[in-house]
Structure 1
Amino acid sequence: MQKLRVTNFSCIKYADLETASLTILIGPQASGKSVLSKLLYFFNNILITLHNSAEEQLSAKELGEAIGADFVRWFPPSAWGARIFHIRFEAGPFEIKIKRKGSTTRLSDKIQVSLAPDIRVHYEALLLSVKTATETTRSQEFGQFSSKSWEISYKLRRENEGRLEGILGEAYVDFQLFVPAGRSWFTSVGKAISAFEHGGLLDPVTLDFGRLFTNVRDRARSGLPVDSSATEQRLRNQLTVKLFGGRIRFEREKEYVEADDGRRIPFSVLSSGQQELLPLWLVLSQMSNDIQSQRRKISPTMLYIEEPEAHLFPTAQSTLLDYLASLTSDERLRRSMIITTHSPYVLSKFNNLLKAGSLGFGADKRQAQKVNEIVPRISWLNAKRTRAYAIVDGTLTDILTEDGLIDGEYLDAVSGEISKDFLRLLDLEYGDV
């Protein structure tokens, strides 16, 4: 769908990544998983906001300069490392390259941004259409904020989005959502997120999520009706009870989980795992509601979820991963997802879902039903629409084998250390027997 190639950037020595409906990145802490996912988010943001750049009347040259300035803001030079780096992003025929200026003996904090001819041609046509629409609005003496002016602008934006989707095909992303690690902070901070916006204390990705989560909480407090199908709402309610031990409630300034025994547990005293899960759960629920309420053509969405397993017991992890897999299993919903993890358990769980898919998809009704009794069909994964990578010593490695499963040797390597130690202790205990 999309491709990202990174050389000598931050802690990444080399990475050649291709996204799919579900892309899994595993590696130790501080290995570069977040760097890669945030780079993808950054480049997709460029394409999503092209129309905004045209409305600001930025020339193609100024667009490149703006991209460079944003890159430095998102990825501070102090974190680049002591090497010349190259980054290349591809979405269909569109290609964006970013290179650090300088030499190996004299590094620079400046970068060079290169836009492929296809992007330039598209952007210049977009810029011309926006200029023409602006002049038309002025010539007909519509006020800048008149309803007619907004109507023209909205129609033009939709037309240009349709044109961009036609060019990029499956690589097109209309909306993206990045759910960072450390989410429990948002559960406790509440509306105070606004206090951090101007202090430079949070990176742009975290701020984006904070604003969205604040909006979701406000909508929940307002009591706006939920517009999702009864089946989907019932499923989410069941999962909510399973994961949180009760129903999530909002009453004006009160937010709590109502347990089956009548206890009301404020968000601030939920378990660490529940506080970490709550922002992710509420945002995904709201996104599903919005899709149901639109009742129109579904736009391609990219989800980035860091460490979904954080602070959760394995059975809760399994339940959550089943749900996340179900979000990408229906091609009609046009969702893709990138998950980062350092948990071998998460990798093993996805391997089970891949195995279920290989046995169930295309099987006869009897066989498919047997698989469904073990793994719900809605969570089966198709290997052709899945990618799995591991970061080892700064290098990204493809760990999905030709038979559509995650490399068994890698799974054994990352999960076998504890077993090896235990066997060595047994040898020590019974070695003389």
Structure 2
Amino acid sequence: MTKPEINSTKDTQNTLRDRRSFLKKSTLATLSTLLGAEIVHAVSMPRGYVPVALEQGFDPMKGKSEGMIIRNEKPWNVEPAPHLLNDPITPFASIFIRNNGLIPEDVDAANWTLTIGGESVVKEKTYTLDELKKKFKSYSYQLVLECGGNGRAGFYPPASGNQWEEGAVYNSEWTGVRLKDVLADVGIKSDAVYVGYYGKDKHLNGDPNKVVISRGVPLAKAMQDETLLAWALNGTDIPLAHGYPLRLVCGGWPASASGKWLHKLVVRNQVHDGEKMMGDSYRVPKYPVAPGDTVPDEDMKIIESMPVRSIITYPKSGAMFGTSKKLTIQGHAWAGEHQVKEMQVSTDFGATWLKCILKKPVNRLAWQQWTVELGFPQAGYYEIWAKATDDQGISQPMVMPGWNPKGYLNNACHRIAVKVS
């Protein structure tokens, strides 16, 4: 894998700001020259808009990254380019990696245990991995896991954290036992409201007593059929980087709610207060705030269901083809706890929209495949924008949604650049 430059320093941010400012002030002729082609639907292009091929800083003749992009090496965080997510079920090689600490070493699955305790269990109980497999019925579901910060790179001013673009999401098949069945076996009290997790990952500072991350979900989410204690991913053992040998999986919510290397669950009579449950970690303002504002802790809320979103997985950005060729566009759409009801694309900067063929999800909380055939009668530079609408009538915004301190929940329309010659 090629290691990209990490755009996290103030100098880099200043450079990007100056570059954006220059591009926004540039004339249409200048932008066309930089792109190497006429902007076909320039009349519909919003004032001050920066073409995606220039904003994202890649040569439209060559396209974007060919593979996996390293966002951070310690901890290990890696993102695939969107075109690597074209499969209905995401293969191991294209699954993004988001870790908060160091991957545990010398994992012994044969002696792995899960303890379920907390103030709201009748009696603490411990299970071996083998006992979980034998005592409870197993289930398999395709589930979408998406980083809460997917799309963070699109926020301005920049938000701190890994600068994910569009690839910190995947849809794979998980196999395990339903958490609700195990909780029923343990016994939970009537005052239970939340379930928190603890994993075996190690803190970056090496302190074995310091918790890396301990998040969780409300009891209602824990009791959903699709919330699993999983040991298999795509029909085989979960890869070590993704939580082997046992992981809590809560599809449709930020992937940080799906604890890796799971060895303990606590049933709480209050909202779980573990590491990265407070402050601005996986929390957003309760009301719109101006970019750069500081938000009081009491005005923040925990991210739960992820917003409606879609990606274009074929062709990859930067594709070139002739005017006589019809092009089949492919992608996926998802909407957290909800289902996507309509999928549309635009080739004229959102002036008009064309409805796509949208498949139903394989099961609840899985993503949906979509396709549409497009023709390009005139040579030049085009952008394809993708917009999904969920079953609540909520659509993706065409521009960056409300700013927040950590750059969460950016579900603006995915855009790719293509050149017709």
Decide: shared fold, TM above 0.5: no
Q: As a proportion of its length, which structure holds more strand? A: 2
Q: For the superposition of Structure 1 and Structure 2, which TM-score range results when normalised by the shorter chain? A: under 0.3
Q: Please, what TM-score do these two structures have when normalized by structure 1?
A: 0.24
Q: Which has the larger radius of gyration?
A: 1
Q: Please, what TM-score do these two structures have when normalized by structure 2?
A: 0.25
